[in-house]
Amino acid sequence: MCKFKSILTTVLCLTTVMWSNISEAQQAQDSLIITLEQAIEIALEESNSVKIADLTIEKSGYAKKGTYAALYPNITASGSYQRTLKKQVMAMDFGGQSMEISVGKWNNVNAGISASMPLINAQLWQALKLSALDVEIAVEQARSSKIAMISQVKQAFYAVLLAQQVYDVYNNVYENAAKNFEHTEHLYNAGKASEYEYLRAQVNVKNAEPNVYSSLMAIELTIWQLKAVMGVELSEKIGVAGEIDQYKDEMMTYNCNEIDLENNTTLAQLQLQNKQLERTIKMTKYQYIPTLAASFSYNYIAMGDDFKFKWNPYSVVGLSLNIPIFDGFSKHNSIKQYKSTQDILQLNIEDTERNLRIALKNFENQIATYMKNYTAAESTLEVAQRSYDIAERMYELGKATLLELNDAQLALVQAQLTMSQAVYNFMVTKASIEELAGNEE
């Protein structure tokens, strides 16, 4: 029996050292402690999705400038050289006699410059407005990516806080189990506790170990997930500041009725698409309007049998009027098609707004449930803590069994975890509501 107790004591000491080393390793890993605001700031700087959105805006800006270029004169320079291989022969009659004359020169050179620009082109003006809407959509899509990124960072950050809180609870359970085992061991050695209680206390310690280890691994996993969302290297050593319970007051005072969908990014993008269709319809209608363009050219021509050219300039200026008359009803059918697409889009906007309001109502109900869960667990916690303290004291005095102490601890742990889980669920739901409302903070 003494040998068994010696081995058991050694195992417990090694286990304690193991958890101590893991905890120290965890603290060493968390060398850079960041707040939620810092995590969001890093994510917005390092995230590839945000960078892609910014590049999309830049690309749309270049496309808009390219459309505006159609308003400026289009100036081109040209030049050509031709070598005659066989001259053209012309046959003519002179006084009843036929004569053949070779015409042209062996070398022909042409060089000049030309310019053109639209004077009246209503379709082009609408195209310019349409390209401006492309930029607005790109900006809204970038805002959407930013809002989604902020929501993901918040949820990942809260997950780390919850994992740390769960670890604290299970670590406390382990420490209590180790302390109770130590007390039971003294009673057992003194003959005041049965072997069953001694073995039960030992089992409690062993049962508490996996929860502590799993919660530690959960902290590491959630930190990795946070780093992935932030867009930083997974080898970076970071930790988070704060506790999940610090948000409990915010949960109890939160009011969903103050949320509106005016800045919802999905609705904003659909509205911009609707404006695009309106511009497209106008642009198609403006194809019925005549267009007027101006042109100018200045050229030099030189011809000769040798390369001693004499350059002869000539220039022209003109106007080009294009009046559409009939196109087989192509524009008419295109307008009808765009209008049908616009009607479909309008129905989608109505459905989207309706679904968003349903989602907001669902979030409101969920938060009400979390509040009730927290309130119930909070009222239970104080009683559970007192019950455990009394059971622990009575167990030390030999007036309570280990089973009663375990029941009291189980009730305490359930209340603690329920409270932390309720706060976490609230903060995750709140982040989803902020994303739904289009908040950028």
With cut-offs at 50, 70 and 90, classify the pLDDT of residue 318.
very high
Grouping H, G, I as helix, E, B as strand and the rest as coil, residue 305 is coil
Neighbours of 71 (CB within 10 A): 12
Q: Which whole-number Å values give the CA distances from 381 to 4, 161, 170, 369, 395, in the listed order? A: 38, 20, 16, 18, 20
Residue 266 has φ and ψ, to the nearest 5°, of -65, -45
**Tokens standing for residue 241:** 């500041």
**Please, which residues have CB within 8 angstroms of residue 156's CB and are 6 or more apart in sequence?**
222, 225, 226, 229, 230
pLDDT at 198: 82
According to CATH, the topology of domain 2-71+121-289+327-437 is Outer membrane efflux proteins (OEP) (1.20.1600)
* Consecutive H or E run containing 109: strand 107-120
pLDDT at 30: 43
| Number of helical H runs and strand E runs in the chain | 9, 8
Query: What does the pLDDT average to over 191-209?
Result: 83
pLDDT at 70: 81
Residue 273 has pLDDT above 90, yes or no: yes
Q: Which whole-number Å values give the CA distances from 13 to 10, 18, 159, 178, 195, in the listed order? A: 5, 9, 32, 10, 21
Phi-psi region of 320 (alpha: psi -120 to 50; beta: other; left: phi over 0): beta
Distance CA 128, CA 140 (A): 19
User: Which ranges of 190-264 would DSSP assign to H, the alpha helix?
Assistant: 195-230, 248-252
114-154: pLDDT as tens digits: 999 998 888 888 888 888 888 888 888 888 889 999 999 99
With cut-offs at 50, 70 and 90, classify the pLDDT of residue 77.
very high
Best CA proximity match to 49, nearest among 135, 139, 121, 148: 148
Domain boundaries, the chain: 2-71+121-289+327-437, 75-119+294-323
Residue 299 has φ and ψ, to the nearest 5°, of -130, 155
**pTM, full prediction:** 0.77
Best CA proximity match to 156, nearest among 227, 241, 232: 227
226-256: pLDDT as tens digits: 999 988 888 888 889 999 999 999 888 888 7
Cβ contact 400:394 at 8 Å: yes
354-375: pLDDT as tens digits: 999 999 999 999 999 999 999 9
pLDDT at 31: 59
